[in-house]
Amino acid sequence: METEEEQPDWGRLTHAYGPADDIPGLLRAMESADAGVREGAMDELVSALCHQGDVHDASAHAVPHLARLALDGPGHRPELLWLLGGIAGGAGTPAERTAARRATALALPSLLHLAHDPAAPVRDAVLLLITALGRPYALPLLPLLRARLDAEPDPAVRGRVVTALALLEAGDGGWRHGLLTDPEPRVRLAAAEDLLRTAGLPLPAGLVDVAARAYAADPHARDGAAWPHPHRPFTDRLLADPDAAVRAVAHGVPLAHEITERWRDREAEVLPWVLRDLRCAAWEVYRLARLTAALPPPCRAAVRERVRPWLAADGPELRAAVLTALARARAPEAVGETARLVLAEPAAYSTVRAVTAVADVYGAAALPVARAVAGRLDAASAPLVEVLTRYPEAAAAVVDPLAALVRRHVGARPAGPAAAEGRDFGPADEDTGAHAVAAVAVLGALGAAAAGTGERALSAAARGGGDGALRVRAAVAHHRVAGDPRLALSVLGREPADGSSWWLASAGRLGPAGAPLLPLVEPWLAPGTPKVTRGEAALAVRRITGRTEDTVEPLARWLAGAVTGRGWEAPMAALTEIGLLPRFAVPALRRAAGSARRVGSDPFAGDAPHPDYALRAAARRLLAAAAVLSEPPLSEG
């Protein structure tokens, strides 16, 4: 390590978490004889100097010290070399990237002899370091890599030599074809992987077979190496061609769920392989349930037969997962067994998942489940309580307990806008107010059937202290129950009209009775307002006034921006009801309606049916129902 005079001023340098004055201590810890001390320091160095692949100005200054430790330190040599490779290929500002790569290139000559180290992980790490530096620095080292291809005894490392040469050498790479019959599966796979990377679509069936069979001969975890562009793992490349991916799945490559996440209408094709590889684990069964929701009826029996034996397994989590899959597969026992699960495990979120699936599939026929929920309000989680919004017959029998839930939580710690909008409340917690929000939603859905006890509880919640979102939600529900908007108008009028989603949505839910709030809503329709806020304001104005002249265009812009993610449902439904569609929104909707590849996604959808299918159906309905407006858009918004 440098002398004190040669040391950089680490406090003036930065890493991923701020000033880098902790780096000298971590480097000293890497010289400890205690492997546990080194392990902790190594983790912190990686996180600070190459956090998620990003480098900082401290990263380049640390390189000489890391290289010295890799050469002479007491341990963790492969990890230090991998960190050097990460720094060499890291992302960051141009100056940071250039400094990191130059510093690593200067350190490399002293490390090259480790390419012949007895330990395969060390040879592998040097290989990745050379490749990360890229062609300008690595081209002089191609003879070394070619020699390693001939001499390397470890099959995995030899396969990575093939990948390194393929990325660094110019030319058509014809030499890789000769490796497609190599005795070692890892070598065959590496050669096929790079040939697939450069092949056009559709991918050649013979090449797909070579890659898939090579993988099946030596299954292994996905390569986590930070190979530089233009490398693409063979699994990623296969997913660009769904027919090729299905072909690979038949050979044993575990891509079935990845195919259905990227491509539409492939569930039935991959089902045999999903069922073949299914294990008795709740998360895998939930994943099967998501796939099952899109299966055609003839395929559902296979799912039922595969998971039904696990219904008797120990553990409520697995049992709930099995019931979720059975419900999606239309198993006749799903309703009764789920009702029993509610009685036994009303507080578990896994119970909510099973109940939601049963309600989605069986609708009114799932009333026994709703009645079971109504019977366990004393212990049910908040999301389970809210399921009763779908079942007024069951909810009407428990108005008094629902009102008690509201009263119990009035003044509790704020539930926040997320709860006010009816999103995921998480596990049952007396202090969050989530139960109050759920009970308010159920009472509001009951309307006049909640008069009396329910109406009084809603009035108290709307007038009480605590969270403004809960007050607003209770006031709007009170309007639905009592038929009198005055309390809701008063509460909404006192809340800051800040353009928040929950406030605008609440104002719109009042319908024509919300007219006095228009002066607070309409300013958010102005051009220049953020797209989503402007669209939400347009939706509220539409619900209150029925206007189309100034609401269709903001709704369409909101929809066009949301069609690939979350939040498209409200503007899609409103435009379908209106029956008008600006021309600028048509291309995005046509793609959503007709693409073979997934357009929409929602990382929070869990085991529910893939939201892309609902998007497709809704887009098709809108395109069929709407008249396309040919005039130019009013504003970019």
Q: Same domain for 480 and 518?
A: no
Please report, for the domain that includes residue 145, its CATH number. Answer: 1.25.10.10
Backbone angles phi, psi at 15, to 5 degrees: -130, -160
Q: Same domain for 477 and 522?
A: no
DSSP structure string for 274-307: HHHH--S-HHHHHHHHHHHTTS-HHHHHHHHHHH
Q: Same domain for 141 and 165?
A: yes
* Tokens at 494, concatenated: 């006192």
Which residues touch 176 (CB under 8 Å, ≥6 apart)? 162, 166, 191, 194, 195
Tell whether 348 is covered by a domain: no
What's the distance, Cα to Cα, between the start and end of the chain in Å? Answer: 57
DSSP structure string for 13-27: SEETTEE-TTHHHHH
Q: Which of 235, 264, 289 is the last residue of a domain?
A: 235
pLDDT at position 632 is 52
Q: Which pTM value belongs to this model?
A: 0.87
b/e sequence 435-446, b meaning 16+ C-beta within 10 Å? bbbbbbbbbbbb
DSSP structure string for 99-149: HHHHHHHHHHHHHGGGGG-SSHHHHHHHHHHHHHH-HHHHGGGHHHHHHHH
Question: What's the average model confidence in pLDDT over 111-129?
Answer: 96
How far apart, in whole angstroms, are the C-alpha atoms of residue 623 and residue 580? 9
- The answer to which of 166-170, 523-527, 558-562 has the lowest mean pLDDT is 166-170
pLDDT in tens, 184-237: 999 999 999 999 999 999 999 999 999 999 999 999 876 556 788 889 999 999
How far apart, in whole angstroms, are the C-alpha atoms of residue 123 and residue 558? 53
Q: Is the pLDDT of residue 425 over 60?
A: no
In terms of DSSP H, where are the helices of 513-585? Answer: 518-521, 531-545, 552-562, 569-578
R_g of the chain computed on alpha carbons: 30
> Are the C-beta atoms of residues 190 and 160 closer than 8 Å to each other?
yes
Res. 80 pLDDT band, cuts 50 70 90: very high
> Are the C-beta atoms of residues 238 and 253 closer than 8 Å to each other?
yes
Q: Same domain for 388 and 470?
A: yes
pLDDT at position 466 is 66
CA-nearest of 621, 413, 483, 154 to 437 is 413
**Cα torsion at 460, 466, 468, 474 (round to 10°)?**
-30
Q: Same domain for 600 and 483?
A: no
Q: How far is CA 500 from the centre of its chain?
A: 24
Question: What's the average model confidence in pLDDT over 395-424?
Answer: 68
Counting Cα atoms < 13 Å in the Cβ hemisphere of 587 gives 2
Report which residue type is found at 617. Answer: A
Q: Is the CA virtual torsion 548, 549, 554, 559 positive or negative?
A: positive
Res. 565 pLDDT band, cuts 50 70 90: confident
How far apart, in whole angstroms, are the C-alpha atoms of residue 164 and residue 44? 28
Please state, in angstroms and as integers, the Cα–Cα distance from residue 153 to each residue in 124, 221, 603, 618, following that order. Answer: 12, 20, 43, 57
pLDDT at position 417 is 39
pLDDT at position 631 is 61
Q: Is the pLDDT of residue 377 over 50?
A: yes
pLDDT in tens, 237-274: 999 999 999 999 999 999 999 999 999 999 999 999 99
Q: Same domain for 463 and 570?
A: no
Q: Which of 495, 526, 548 is the last residue of a domain?
A: 495
Please state at what angle helix 77-88 crosses helix 94-111, rounded to 10 degrees. Answer: 140
How far apart, in whole angstroms, are the C-alpha atoms of residue 109 and residue 183? 33
Q: Which of 207, 235, 263 is the last residue of a domain?
A: 235
pLDDT at position 170 is 79
Q: Which domain holds residue 165?
A: 10-219+229-235
H/E stretch holding 627? strand 627-629
> Average per-residue pLDDT in the chain?
92
Q: How many residues are present in the chain?
A: 637
Q: Is the pLDDT of residue 293 over 60?
A: yes
Which residues touch 115 (CB under 8 Å, ≥6 apart)? 123, 126, 127, 130, 144, 148
Q: Is the pLDDT of residue 524 over 60?
A: yes
> Are the C-beta atoms of residues 271 and 295 closer than 8 Å to each other?
yes
Q: Same domain for 483 and 588?
A: no
The segment with the largest mean pLDDT, out of 409-418, 425-434, 464-473, is 464-473
Q: Is the CA virtual torsion 353, 354, 358, 361 positive or negative?
A: positive
Q: Is the pLDDT of residue 415 over 50?
A: no
Tell whether 86 is covered by a domain: yes
> Are the C-beta atoms of residues 433 and 467 closer than 8 Å to each other?
yes
pLDDT at position 602 is 80
What does the DSSP 8-state code read for residue 581? E
Q: Same domain for 475 and 586?
A: no
In terms of DSSP H, where are the helices of 218-266? Answer: 234-238, 242-250, 256-262
Res. 499 pLDDT band, cuts 50 70 90: confident
Percentage with pLDDT > 70 across the chain: 94
pLDDT in tens, 269-281: 999 999 999 999 9
Strands 580-582 and 627-629 come out as: parallel
How far apart, in whole angstroms, are the C-alpha atoms of residue 245 and residue 260? 10
pLDDT at position 530 is 95
Q: Same domain for 32 and 176?
A: yes
Tell whether 117 is covered by a domain: yes
How far apart, in whole angstroms, are the C-alpha atoms of residue 569 and residue 565? 10
Q: Same domain for 474 and 518?
A: no
Percentage with pLDDT > 90 across the chain: 85
Please state, in angstroms and as integers, the Cα–Cα distance from residue 554 to each residue in 435, 506, 573, 581, 586, following that order. Answer: 34, 18, 14, 11, 14
> Are the C-beta atoms of residues 50 and 223 closer than 8 Å to each other?
no
Q: Same domain for 562 and 459?
A: no
Q: Same domain for 118 and 171?
A: yes
How far apart, in whole angstroms, are the C-alpha atoms of residue 438 and residue 440? 5
pLDDT at position 225 is 61
Q: Total structural domains in the chain?
A: 3
